[in-house]
Amino acid sequence: MKYWHAQLSRAKLNVVLVILLSLSFAALMMSVALSWHAYQPLPYPQSDKLMWLRSDMVGDDQKVVMAQAMSTPVAWQLAQDKQVFEQASAVFYSQGLLRGALVEPKVSTTYVHQEFFSLFDMSLKRGRWFSQSDTLGETLNEAVVSECFAQQHLSGDALIGQILQLDERYFTIVGVAACDDQEPQLFQSNQGSDVFLPFALAIGEGISDLDHLAVRSDVFLVGRVPKSKDVELHLAVQQANLQSAFKQAQIQQGLPGRVELVFALQPLVNKLKGQLKTTMHWLTFASVALLLITLVNTFSLYLLDFKSKQTQLALAITMGAKRADLKRAQWCYIAFIFLLSSAIAAVIAQGGLGLFRVWTQASLAHVTWLSVPWWSILSVIAFSQLCAWVFVSLALSQVSFRDIRSQLSGSGKGQTKQLPNWVGQSLLGTQMGIGAITMGLAFWLLSYFGGQLLTHSGFNAESLYFVELQQSDYARSDDAIQARYNQAKINLAALNNHPDIDSAALAAVIPHEFVFLEPLSRGDDGTNMITAYLQLIGENYFVTTGQRFIAGGGFNQDDLSTTDTGQKVIINQKLAQMLELNSNDVGTTLYDRHQRPIKLVGIVENTFSHSLQVQPLAYLPFNFINGNIIVRAKANASLELNTITELYKAHNPSQSILRLVDIKARMQQLNKSAMLSFWAGLAIAVVMLFQVVAGMYGLIGYLAILSAPVFSIKCLVGAKVRDILVEQCKVRAYLIIPVMICAYILSLAIGRAFGILTAQLWIYMIVACVFTSCIIFILELYHVSQQANPKEPQ
């Protein structure tokens, strides 16, 4: 016990061991928690049978033109097909305004089948679920509201039977759903629905040709598949039938049928947690690498410290102590260090996952389910005690107590304190190899995500806002379009005259919101047509957004028309490259989906975000299907929703704003995962560098101290310090060269397994190997020169 207390009183060594082990165990607990969260079954009945239907739009070359492209007729029909799903629900996410206030709150509405609630075991607080009919046009206007929405926006206790006005439609509240995280987050992460409505209401009285063509990314189909093996076969038959209806709708609307829909059933767990699985692979690799290098470092410190106490151990044996008692005392000491480190690691892991939940709530679905499992803490504690036992066993195996006299007489000369050569070489080689691999991958991670963050977005997001007008009528009659034209011009003039607004322009969607598609080709026969995303814009759009022209210019007022807006087009660099066009081709004629001629009037810079990357974009003149506007506020001025609402209602009281989007905040959100990855990579690189340098500093330092008597003897017989340094560097070079070669090959294998085997990785691994080797030689020169000084023999 006295020896154990003496060990615990050595604060400097104990603090270093606890810090190193706590950080690595915390990283291990967090990676275990993330892995469990990513791969554990969903908390729904028969979750292994829950699937979602992925529907992609592909072109002639079978490349995906639009991912997750589904129309409401497809979701409606397949949801009722019992040969595909034994129980299913179509899901359509939308937004509306709750009427009754000046600034009308935006409501998240979700159109579902009644089966949706039982599929995901959702709880009903009051009332009942809404009723539905399998026949379009017969569904009642009933609604189920969430408890959180009711508490915030509805008054009175008698909620059941209240009338709810969303936009221009009225609904009767028949039930109140529990406000929890049971609802599957299919479309947007960690955003619950305020109001649930029958899916049939999203289609209306019947299915039109435009409904078949209206493929969108906010329609989903989820359900529980039967045990039948013919599901895929029957789905293929249904795909052919629905594709036929899709092509027929294109023909009736005068569109060339150049795209088709492809269906595939995929596990729902992959939809909800697929992004986390990808992130988890890197985090797990980093945590395991950190744990390995930490264990090597701590074992080096413990072993060399244990070896330096060999004289005390030999004396204890001489005084009658038993070897088993010494081993037990050593195990109690190191086991306590590991246990304390595990306890601190559990606290760090809980805090780290709490921060992870906050930072990733908007990008990872159901991150609120994430926690540190109790069994992972016990597993890490058990693992730590196993490591403690291994440490003690390996340390004692390096000490022989058979000849106590030899131990005592030789303990001051350095021979008995020396580690066996293979042990020292193995420890140092392991440290160098793991350090080089982890540093190389950390350098690559920093470079990749740093490059993403430094990539120009293509426009100036500062003080840029998007004003989306609430609209329920998309009629294409001449009168309806003319009315929207007149109102849009009034709104635009009012915004341009506002003292806090620098400029404004018509814009159908946000610069990084890809909704519409537009096929373009250079030939009038429709060959080699490229499908791009479409942006409908007005005059001064690029002046407002700050996008730069590569060649040509923008649209003018005469290009905007309520009858025909397909006379001119502007494309971005990405699309120009795909169409094999350059700045000299401005003025050339392109052809749209109808093979109508369109004049190319400009090429603009690409827009970029980490989440959406660079997409081919075609800009056409605004067609007044909606009345949305993009606004640039003046410097140091910010726009508020109530300010814009009052401005709009002053000109037309029936107008309402659906949302006011701060583009800068939206861009930050889109780049959030890149920012998190960058800081994670930076943290990993710094921790790895610290671990490698600290571990090798301690190991080489201890080896030099234990070799000090040998160095002194060599100096006394005529050797110079320079000769000793050259000799030691040669010894290290014989170890460094094969270790670095093996580390380089292993790192490339890891890079290939992760799909990142690029020229950049080759270069960064060379830099990491050279950097690690330089650290070794610098530390070797420093420590050996300190110990091989003939003036101060050890």
Q: Is residue 667 part of a domain?
A: no
My answer on whether 244 and 95 are in the same domain is: yes
Distance in angstroms (rounded) separating the CA atoms of residues 427 and 792: 29
Nearest to 413 by CA among 725, 716, 713: 713
Burial 348-363 (b: 16+ CB within 10 A, else e): bbbebbeebbebbeeb
Helix (H) or strand (E) holding 20: helix 11-39
Structural domains counted in the chain? 3
My answer on whether 21 and 158 are in the same domain is: no
pLDDT at 195 over 70: yes
What average pLDDT does range 107-133 have in this prediction? 90
My answer on whether 302 and 176 are in the same domain is: no
State which amino acid sits at residue 195.
V
Give residue-wise pLDDT tens across range 126-172.
899 998 877 787 788 899 999 988 888 887 778 888 888 888 889 99
Structure confidence at residue 300 as a pLDDT band (50, 70, 90): confident
What average pLDDT does range 227-240 have in this prediction? 82
Distance in angstroms (rounded) separating the CA atoms of residues 561 and 567: 10
Residues 6+ apart with CB under 8 A from 80: 88, 134
Distance in angstroms (rounded) separating the CA atoms of residues 332 and 772: 35
Strands (E), 321-445: none
My answer on whether 247 and 286 are in the same domain is: no
Structure confidence at residue 758 as a pLDDT band (50, 70, 90): confident
Residue that finishes a domain, picked among 382, 400, 417: 417
Q: Is residue 35 part of a domain?
A: yes
Q: The tokens of 539 are what? A: 């005059």
pLDDT at 642 over 80: yes
Nearest to 300 by CA among 437, 442, 440, 429: 429
More confident residue, 679 or 662: 662
My answer on whether 494 and 605 are in the same domain is: yes
What secondary structure letter does DSSP report for 560?
Answer: -
Q: Is residue 689 part of a domain?
A: no
Q: Is residue 739 part of a domain?
A: no
Nearest to 740 by CA among 698, 768, 706, 710: 768
What percent of the chain clears pLDDT 70, i.e. is strictly above it? Answer: 85
Q: Is residue 298 part of a domain?
A: yes
Residue that finishes a domain, picked among 396, 417, 438: 417
pTM of the model: 0.73
Q: Is residue 10 part of a domain?
A: yes
My answer on whether 648 and 508 are in the same domain is: yes
Nearest to 53 by CA among 208, 231, 276: 231
8 Å CB contact between 516 and 533: yes
Mean per-residue pLDDT over the chain, rounded: 80
More confident residue, 126 or 230: 126
Give residue-wise pLDDT tens across range 441-450.
777 877 777 7
pLDDT at 290 over 80: no
8 Å CB contact between 368 and 310: no
Burial class of residue 669 in the structure, from the number of CB atoms within 10 Å of its CB (0-12 exposed, 13-18 middle, 19+ buried) = middle
Q: Is residue 270 part of a domain?
A: no
Burial 751-789 (b: 16+ CB within 10 A, else e): beeeeeeeeebbebbeebbebbbebbeebbeebbbebbe
Chain centroid offset of residue 591 CA: 38
Q: 10 Å Cβ neighbour count for 83?
A: 16
Residues 6+ apart with CB under 8 A from 525: 595
HSE-up (13 A, CA, CB side) for residue 738:
9
The end-to-end CA distance of the chain, in Å, is 32
My answer on whether 495 and 602 are in the same domain is: yes
Distance in angstroms (rounded) separating the CA atoms of residues 331 and 391: 8
Structure confidence at residue 436 as a pLDDT band (50, 70, 90): confident
Beta-sheet pairing, 597-604 with 568-572: parallel
8 Å CB contact between 194 and 108: yes
pLDDT at 181 over 70: yes
My answer on whether 252 and 363 are in the same domain is: no
What average pLDDT does range 715-727 have in this prediction? 77
pLDDT at 785 over 60: yes
Angle between helices 323-360 and 11-39 (to 10 degrees): 50
My answer on whether 345 and 487 are in the same domain is: no
Domain coverage including residue 19 = 1-44+277-417
Residues 6+ apart with CB under 8 A from 69: 55, 56, 57, 215, 216, 217, 261
Q: Is residue 198 part of a domain?
A: yes
State which amino acid sits at residue 565.
T
My answer on whether 232 and 380 are in the same domain is: no
Nearest to 375 by CA among 34, 32, 39: 32
Give residue-wise pLDDT tens across range 18-51.
888 888 888 888 888 888 887 888 888 888 899 9
Q: Which of 171-185, 340-354, 458-472, 475-489 has the lowest mean pLDDT?
A: 475-489
What percent of the chain clears pLDDT 90, i.e. is strictly above it? Answer: 12
Strands (E), 113-257: 124-127, 142-146, 163-166, 169-177, 195-198, 219-224
Nearest to 702 by CA among 293, 401, 299: 299
My answer on whether 384 and 489 are in the same domain is: no
My answer on whether 111 and 227 are in the same domain is: yes
8 Å CB contact between 785 and 703: no
Number of helices and strands (H, E) in the chain?
A: 22, 22
What average pLDDT does range 311-332 have in this prediction? 67
Residue that finishes a domain, picked among 633, 655, 677: 655
What secondary structure letter does DSSP report for 131?
Answer: P
State which amino acid sits at residue 379.
S
